Structure 1
Amino acid sequence: MNFTFAHNNLNVLNLEKSLAFYKQALQLEETRRLEKTDFTLVFLGDGKTHHKLELTWLKNRKEPYNLGDNEIHLAFTVDNFEQAYGLHKEMGCICYENKDMGIYFIADPDGYWLEIIPERR
């Protein structure tokens, strides 16, 4: 028996705002969409791996999600850390930096944290 990662899910309050953020901040592109009466699922990919980020939009939800302590995050490696940092600084989405570890976190429109890690060579 072999298990393989398929996707991670994040629920979002404003689908269009989230899609624009993930495209600008992380260059993720829509790979699949499932429209239902009460919800929409949009899968985003990086074009390099099979792993997907699933954004779920519950159409009737009006209040922001309670993320608790927000201790769960997704991590992304980047080949040009300085350029990514500059982009995210310009976007105003950097929410935490750990210079000792050489990493930082950005927050998406719903407040989910995303770790940015330099590619190790």
Structure 2
Amino acid sequence: MNFQFAHYNYNVINLEKSLDFYEKALGLKEARRKEAADGSFILSYLTDGKTGFQLELTWLRDWEGDRYNLGDNEIHLAFTTDDMDAAHKKHQEMNCICYENPDMGIYFIADPDGYWIEIVPAKSNTPQ
């Protein structure tokens, strides 16, 4: 029996705002979408176009909160980049950097719903 990663899910309050953020911040594009016939949910699967991994964004029509409870944000996705300086500048301009660890050479950005995403140099010995 073999298992492979398929996708990871984040629930989002505003799907269009999240889609815009993930495209601008990380270059992710919507690969496919599933919408409930009754309009109760939309699933949007984002891809980097290079790996098979997908990020599923779930929008729920009947969600009544204004935020999801993310706890202490210790659970996160990590992305590598081949140009940390350019990535950092871009994310700084987007005002989405929420935590930096210069000693480790990494930083985190936060999406519109407050999910943290770690940015790591592509060739790094830093534990991820």
Q: Determine if the TM-score, normalized by the shorter chain, exceeds 0.5.
A: yes
- Match for residue 113 of structure 1 among 116, 119, 125: 116
Q: Report 1:65-104 matches (<5 A).
A: 65-104=68-107
- Provide the C-alpha distance between the structure 1 equivalents of 2:24 and 2:11, rounded to a whole number of angstroms: 19
Partner of 1:47: 49
Check conservation: 1:107, 1:114, Cα contact below 8 A. yes
Output the TM-score relative to the length of structure 1: 0.97
Where does structure 2 lack aligned partners over 5 or more consecutive residues? Answer: none
Where does structure 1 lack aligned partners over 5 or more consecutive residues? Answer: none
CA deviation string 1:22-76 (max 9, x = no partner):
0000000000000012100000000000000000000122421111111100000
- Provide the C-alpha distance between the structure 2 equivalents of 1:93 and 1:46, rounded to a whole number of angstroms: 19
Partner of 2:35: 35
SS at the partner of 2:56?
strand
- Provide the C-alpha distance between the structure 2 equivalents of 1:102 and 1:115, rounded to a whole number of angstroms: 11
SS at the partner of 1:72?
coil
- Provide the C-alpha distance between the structure 2 equivalents of 1:19 and 1:99, rounded to a whole number of angstroms: 29
Partner of 1:26: 26
Q: Percent of aligned positions with the same letter in both sequences?
A: 64
Shift of residue 2, structure 1, vs aligned partner: 1.1
- Provide the C-alpha distance between the structure 1 equivalents of 2:62 and 2:90, rounded to a whole number of angstroms: 33
Partner of 2:14: 14
Output the TM-score relative to the length of structure 2: 0.92
